[in-house]
Structure 1
């Protein structure tokens, strides 16, 4: 099926639908860069550095769980009503986030925002898969990825300016006009001819997945910090996570309409793409979540400068994704993904070697290589999957791949946040600082006014502690980059889309 046009009374206007889809994707892309840029300011205002990773984990958890449900619903009811629902919920969450008065409130509202976000990126990508041919998709996916480049330039810049001159609250509200324009464009120009089916939603699978991932997140974030590893609470959470995962797999393999169709995983290219998407998701959140804290807290740079170190990642992503569109046609999925895997390892290695004295340009260089790797690999995976499956399962197939990346970012935010907290706590306890100094003492590093008022000795201890802890985080990121490269080696060899 090359297009949904010429079906029914009205014809889909592909260029305008593409613009609407890109607006929806831009909304999600700018959210990532702006919130990461604003987080040090948010913590400086609301406090609660120990809850830092939960601001990302809450959003990512709901995003990861709902993406599969939205994918299934879109195969039943069409893409347009599902992406519209997701955008509306996302905007409601964004508005509430801007009104947060505490870190706890912000985390709660991020749950709502993530609940809607689960529909946006996978549905936008699936719509493109529906209205363009296999050969066209390789190029169009590159155009779609250029959205990340535009958001890379505008996101950190707008976020930094808002944080410095207005308020961090406005970073959540810039999404509102984007979402409204995207909805209008889709409803005016996208026309689907869907055979209505009785909805069969796998609620049991959804509940089991939420329980499993939530439990695992709590374990990873709080283990060794608030919950000693040998405590009964930790053992209980670990047992619950393992039991929940086993029950989820057992249920999904036996239910007629699973939210996670494991039959798709029998295709080797899809299996590899999904597993590698998990590991690259862990890497992605490890860089984007904590790099601004390092640049502002340790390098003592502004929010705008911290934002632009992430900009480099979002510039590398669309450039490489555009190149990937052409490379896929000539060299194929394997070579394209392999080059991406090498770039991921180079970027991760740069972060491991990074010292505070290297400055923001070194950090930006590492970000750029990570972006290049993500652009090459993710574009290859999506085009490969959409070219392998039929329309009737394309929504859930695309959503499954994005679920794995989202699951990776969810696990990564919790795992790496837990490592950061535990290493920081251990460092502060071993230091000669005040016995009452806790992880939340880092709050002062993220506010320029508070930082300037700290005694030199205490400032040095906090900065060294944050540097040491983040170094451990980046070592873990490097390990996952190596695992990603090894996984890519198992992709089937191919000769390109044009043979």
Structure 2
């Protein structure tokens, strides 16, 4: 059937769902805010504590442990239940926050950030897993639209808020601000999320698989700052470790992922490839555009950041508009169009930089944001609907982890492409412009690979029975 029952925005903020919506928004807010925290608060921490040489690890370790935590989220949910997992890992996140806030040196900050990352990685993944459990299918696009708004606000407000707290009070206040949000989150979970039943069968701890995922992610992070040849070797080693983790997981009694994760023979596996490849493509602009605008056009940090933020605005607005699509055929068109819009946007950003044409660059930024905004929600919804009821938790929890992995991999590959083309040593505008051509061409190629995977996902999803979501 092509027509579906349309959900209304008022419903997710109405009496029946407002508490659950608040929990999901807080969970995403904590993750998004802390992902952007380091750029504003940690330089002041280094000024007080020293350790400039390890400041980048505050972000790297947070993301690595967030990915590991996200991978373990479905397992923790099965063993502890949604309520116990959310409360327990929010407490872990709070412990990491306090360790970082009271740190006496940068090493302690790194420990706190690692613990923060693991706790929030689990919480963010569980928030995704709760969406099909607590919302009917017709409201899921609206929930994803709400989350896109949260991310956009965090992208603007995260660095600004952390910077204001650092300037007016202390860098430690940027960590302490998490405390009331965590307490509100835990209180809401206690009031809203049912206890549920805890399964009694346990098959050991998947330490080897989590170690492979963590080590593979760490190698990707190291590749982002290595010389081109070393970076390629690190990425190859990371691919081997991550592939081994998926291979081992498929043969385990208690799996971390759905059995068809990243298999091109199913809608779920193909969809996960789309969800991985689009962030890989988008990283080129996300990592380099602000710097390029300052190098090539003489923009100040604020003007460059505002120009780059056009993409986030387009992402949020288009996700809100796309959430109103009523027909499955329209949703399939949006899924296929997203990677194409992303590829076109990246090429136009490159042309705008090469020709020194701000209007072309802005159009490219808008198309890039549209690519993510029009398709992300329906990619996730299609993956969830194509997953069986028994695998829904694993599949849903894997979504934010896959996206974070795509961001990390994209940043590393962007660094390899740019440095191999001589960007790191380029000083003149002509040399800089020549060095970024391979970077954006590679990014557009990954967007086209995402388009191929999207075609496959849509084709397979048509023949896949839909999973049962929350009842009306």
Relative to the length of structure 2, the TM-score reads: 0.78
- CA deviation profile, 1:218-253 (whole Å, cap 9, x unmatched): 34542437x497xxxx5xx57754653454344223
Question: What residue in structure 2 maps to residue 481 of structure 1?
Answer: 447
Worse-matched range after superposition: 299-308 or 68-77 = 299-308
Pick closer, same or farther for the CA change 1:160–1:247 going to 2, 3 Å.
closer
Pick closer, same or farther for the CA change 1:361–1:124 going to 2, 3 Å.
farther
Match of 2:185 among 174, 182, 185: 182
Question: What residue in structure 1 maps to residue 405 of structure 2?
Answer: 407
Question: What residue in structure 1 maps to residue 343 of structure 2?
Answer: 345
Question: What residue in structure 2 maps to residue 444 of structure 1?
Answer: none
Pick closer, same or farther for the CA change 1:245–1:326 going to 2, 3 Å.
same
- Cα distance in 1 for partners of 2:318, 2:46 equals 34
Is it true that 1:259 corresponds to 2:256 in the alignment? yes
Question: What residue in structure 2 maps to residue 66 of structure 1?
Answer: 69
Listed as ranges, the gaps of 5+ residues in structure 2 are: 1-14, 467-472
Q: Describe how 1:226-245 pairs up with structure 2 within 5 A.
A: 227=230, 234=233, 241=238, 244-245=241-242
Q: Describe how 1:337-486 pairs up with structure 2 within 5 A.
A: 337-355=335-353, 358=356, 365-421=363-419, 423=421, 427=425, 461=427, 472-486=438-452
- Cα distance in 1 for partners of 2:262, 2:253 equals 16
- CA deviation profile, 1:280-329 (whole Å, cap 9, x unmatched): 12134443344343445655545444443453333223322223322264
Worse-matched range after superposition: 187-196 or 304-313 = 304-313
Question: What residue in structure 1 maps to residue 9 of structure 2?
Answer: none
- Secondary structure of 2:228's aligned partner: coil
Worse-matched range after superposition: 177-186 or 53-62 = 53-62
Question: What residue in structure 2 maps to residue 136 of structure 1?
Answer: 139
Is it true that 1:205 corresponds to 2:205 in the alignment? no
Question: What residue in structure 1 maps to residue 197 of structure 2?
Answer: 194
Question: What residue in structure 2 maps to residue 215 of structure 1?
Answer: 219
- Cα distance in 1 for partners of 2:433, 2:409 equals 22
RMSD: 4.1
Listed as ranges, the gaps of 5+ residues in structure 1 are: 1-11, 429-460
Following TM superposition, by how much is the alpha carbon of 1:354 offset from its aligned partner in structure 2, in angstroms?
A: 3.7
Question: What residue in structure 2 maps to residue 435 of structure 1?
Answer: none
Q: Describe how 1:32-51 pairs up with structure 2 within 5 A.
A: 32-33=35-36, 35=38
Following TM superposition, by how much is the alpha carbon of 1:279 offset from its aligned partner in structure 2, in angstroms?
A: 0.8
- Secondary structure of 1:197's aligned partner: coil
- Cα distance in 2 for partners of 1:38, 1:364 equals 29
Following TM superposition, by how much is the alpha carbon of 1:142 offset from its aligned partner in structure 2, in angstroms?
A: 2.5
Pick closer, same or farther for the CA change 1:14–1:94 going to 2, 3 Å.
same
- Cα distance in 1 for partners of 2:97, 2:175 equals 5
